[in-house]
Structure 1
Amino acid sequence: MLNYTKYQKILGRTIEPALKRIARGFPVLLLTGMRQIGKSWLMEQLAGTGRRYVSLDDLRARALAKRDPERFIAENPPPCVYDEAQYAPELFTYIKIYADKQKKDGLFWLTGSQKYRLMQGIQESLAGRLAILNMLGLSYREKIARPFGGKPFLPARSLTRKNPLCAPLTPAELYKFIWQGSFPKLVTNKNTDRKVFYDSYIQSYIERDVKDFYNIESAINFYNFLVAAAARTGQLLNYNDLARDVHIDNRTAKLWLSVLERSGIVRLLYPYSSNLTSRVVKTPKLYFLDTGLAAYLCAWDSPDSLRNGAQSGAILETYVFAEILKSYWHNGDSPNIYFYRDQDQKEIDFVLEKNRTLYPIEVKKTAAPDSRDVRHFRTLERFKKNIGTGAVLCLYGQTIALPRQDALSVPVWEI
């Protein structure tokens, strides 16, 4: 069981060292990610007493930043944090002017939960002066209060020699973490009502980030679209089916899905391919980046109902995908991650590429992995690249080498 009291006392975010390191090499740093994942809290903690912190959620601060950005910077000079910077893109030109004049690194730290709105202004004004870090909700390591020391996940034989991150989880315990999701408020405060939290989150997201900025008139239609997308997490994306279920056209479905991507709610994963083969299916897969939100939208009202339901395999794959992303993004890195599926129905859930080596990964809801789970790994040889150690991410309690295969069985909680 998660010790909430202990966790609240030593709460840390894996991204902290990477943020500090990268900020030393750029005048402007942008930390972006979906709402309520802890960006503001982290920036306040890291700012300490030597860096100003200003939130543009404050309407007076926002009004000044939009009306007179030069004066706003003069009244809130670097080193500083401007939280929710998407509300005042007028600042970006003046941030550029200030940074070019001072010629120092670490001047401005920005956060934002609307990446598209941010990038519209930043790409023109701050190109070459800006480092961008993506942040997700709490990883499993962060949930159990061991945020530091982990590296970006990559299957390797050395994993069998490492001390396990924690005691093995039962399927019920694992699915409780998956069902709970990764929003800090739900993890650190056991008194937070989960239903009220997600109801409020969705309403705020649609009203503040969707209707106003994207001119989407029907909140109900967009909510229905959100539910339909959640029901497809971990699956190949079919725009026709998605549009038909919500009674919208394909163009609108693609537009609304791009809204979810820009908000950090979902991410599309594309198939691995090269010019050496024309048999790879080009359709992407859809993943929600918070499994708790996906489970709530799909009305799985308990961890057991989720674990025993029709979506249990897809939600486990979704969880693994998000944890792999966290292991990279929160260490200041970015994964080259894909999936594989061909017209012969040979599939590999994930393919990581590093240094022209392909690392195949399968996700299985099993505690007894065997050679059948890796039978398609050698299919990647058609790409004429090195094939690295593969992995079956599953519910077996420790990392072991699979017999007669260059592959490992790795517990999903050890990512």
Structure 2
Amino acid sequence: GSALKPFVYALAMERGWTPATIIDDSPLLRPVSVGIKQYRNYSGRHYGLVRLREALGNSLNIPAVKAAEFVTTEALYAYLRELGFEGLTKSVLHYGEGLALGNAEVSLFELVRAYSVLARGGVYKNISGLLNSRVESAREKRVVSRAVSSIVGNILSDENARQLEFSGSGLLSFPAQTAVKTGTSSDYRDAWAVGYNDDFTVGVWMGSLDYRPMKQVTGSEGPGIVLRAVFAELNRRTPTAPLFLDPELVRVSVCEATGRAACGSCNAIDELFVPGTMPDPCEDVSERTPKSSPPHIKIQLPTKHLRLALDPRIPDSLEKFPFTIDSDRKVSKVMWYVNDELVGESLGETFLWPLSAGEKILKALVWVGEHEPVWTDNVRFFVRPLYSIRLHEIKEEGA
């Protein structure tokens, strides 16, 4: 599930990102072997350009994948191991970007231990169960900076940061300031909720020991309710205080839509920054991306080495595949070339190409804004001919 996302963003902020960093939450496709992996958010909705605070607060999947790409999956893997996730025994290639979305098996013990690092201001310390007769030594090491761990806790306890996906739900808003994160695994096999306040870190897991799926129990609606009850009991017996906030953090007014220093008439909000990462004061925020910088353009579909197949159930004239361009600017026109032959033009980033069998090399000439047209890199892909599918079916029937 999503319980590992705070650590993905923590590492990204250690490497220069801020809570105001803008991330594109748009439909995302990535190559997997000779196929395609499509990422989507839990709700199925996409929100366009969002700030890191919103991405983490709403547990959005696509920004988390992009954060993992920013830090690299190798660095993320090593970081999670440092945080005590000893169950990551397979290679980093096995997990890939899915680490950001929880495709690794972790225990509740490991999860609570890692969240206690954030609660402790970034310091890792071994912990032991009450029933464990062997008490481990209190080995300590700093894994997360005080500033970044403070920001993560501030985001996870910020009700306003989760309004895109959790609007109207008060389940994650506790009476005393509490950093809360939930997670739900595929097919509802597991559901998690982890939280910490100034004194306690609590984790709750729900699921079947035989890995059978539950009846649509999510982290917020199952373990989240138990977590709330546990903290209510703990807080009844222990005075509460706000979460630790590193005094070295700098509070800056930024534009809500761009994450840049507030100037002019933009909707301004206060944001926390690690010293040295604040946005430049009072720059022009009329454009999210300066026109002077070169556009980022690449072919999104097809992915490199993608293998397609003609479907014998569909008339050839109706079989089409969407060529798409990924760009950080609005695409006005594209000329599409397959094997150096112009096959069509589109007034936008998508073109429906009539499938034809064989090995193909695609490239495109793309017009963006006031820039000169830009050639994309070549993308090689393959379309299986119809006859090979029919021969395969005949062999299967005759076997």
| Same topology, TM > 0.5 | no
Q: Comparing both structures, which one devotes a greater share of its residues to helix? A: 1
Higher strand proportion (structure 1 or 2)? 2
| Larger-Rg structure | 2
TM interval, short-chain normalised = under 0.3
Higher RCO (CA-CA < 8 Å; seq separation 6+):
1
